[in-house]
Each structure stands twice: as structure tokens, then as C-alpha cells.
Structure 1
Amino acid sequence: MNKRAAVVLLLVIGATSGYFSNDEKLEECAKKEGVTTNILISHPNDMKIKCFYHCYFEMTKVILNGKVEIHGIKNSEPCLELKDSNKCELGFKLSNCLRTNLKEYEWRQFF
């Protein structure tokens, strides 16, 4: 993935453009799942995007053995009980839950 696509990816998932601490993990998951800039922009609910989220959260140990594991972030509590038999759907639900419930500085801890 080129740098432009990485920036688009970060912007689409909700991180600010100046924050790239997990850039390599984002790129690795995007490559693994076949996520492209075009898919991100034109099909944000595509299964590839959903699987990208799961890959990223699993790689960063936010999802462990199919369970959401977040410690020390009070606003994440509504997301801890998320479940889905489809791992990609779980990743997507978690991303949406975190984006909805976290403050910007808390969100940055994930991306």
C-alpha cells in the first residue's frame, strides 16, 4: 500500500491525519485483506473492510480469542460485550462502537 492509501485508510477509520503510530499494522492488515483506497471510499461496509478491522484489532490484541479485551478506558465499556460468530462482523462492530463511544484522545490509543 502506498503512503497516500495509508493516509486515506487512517482518515476513513477515524484517526487524525497526524497520528501514525500503528501505520505498519494498518498497512499489513490492509494488504492481507485486499483493502484498497477505492474500496475504502466507495464501499465502506464491504466484507474486506470488516475483515481489515478484525485483523487490526486482533494484531493489536484488542480482540483475543474472539473476545473484546480493553482495559483502562472507561468509555469503552459498552463495547466489551460485543459478540458475533463472524469474526469480521465483530471487528466492524467494535470499530463502530469505539468510534461512537470514545473521546478523540481515547480513540488515538487504538489507531
Structure 2
Amino acid sequence: MHHHPRRSTRRMISIKIDSKVLADVEQAIRPHAKALFDDLGTTRMAIIELASVERTEQGPDEDKDDIVKVRIVDIEIAADEFTDEKLRQQSSAMYRQRSAEGTLDEVA
């Protein structure tokens, strides 16, 4: 009797970010475009909403990851230092929660 190692039914999922920029997203980024262009490497804190827009499932004999493509469907960018700092604090709190309990999708 031969025992073949069973392949895990749980494969990794690779993530791709869709390059399509929706008009509303572009409009929200537009006021920050010149500063981002002029000072390469500059950052802006933002709240974004992601949507999964495409998935690629590999066949059972494929040794590749499944793929999910996500698109930014909404974004709000901090327009002042006060808002920027509030978003940084919230981001830090969310990171601490995620790193303490596992990933956010496992917590939900």
C-alpha cells in the first residue's frame, strides 16, 4: 500500500491591486497630486475601501497560489495635520490589535 502525501486543500492566496483608478478615487487624490509629484516619497494618511473585483482559482494539480484582485473603490485623504495624526493613531491601534490576535480577517 502506497501512501501519497496529501496536498493541503488550503492554498495561499496572492493579492494583486487593480491599476484601474475610479473617477471618485482620482477626484479625492487630485488635491494632493502636486505635493506627491513635487516631493517624491511624501506620504499621506488615508482611509480606503477595498473591493474584490476578480479571482483566479488554480486547478487542483496546479502548484500556484489562487489570486484575488482588489480595487480601491473609495478613499479619503487627511487634509490637515490634525486629521493625519488621528489616522496614524487609529492605524497604530488597528495594527496592535491585528498583531496581537492574528490577522484582521481572522478576527472578524
Instruction: Classify the TM-score, shorter chain.
Output: under 0.3
Bigger Rg over Cα: 2
TM-score (normalizing by structure 1): 0.27
Structure number with greater CO (CA < 8 Å, separation at least 6) is 2
TM-score normalised by the chain length of structure 2: 0.28
Q: Which one has a larger percent helix, Structure 1 or Structure 2?
A: 1
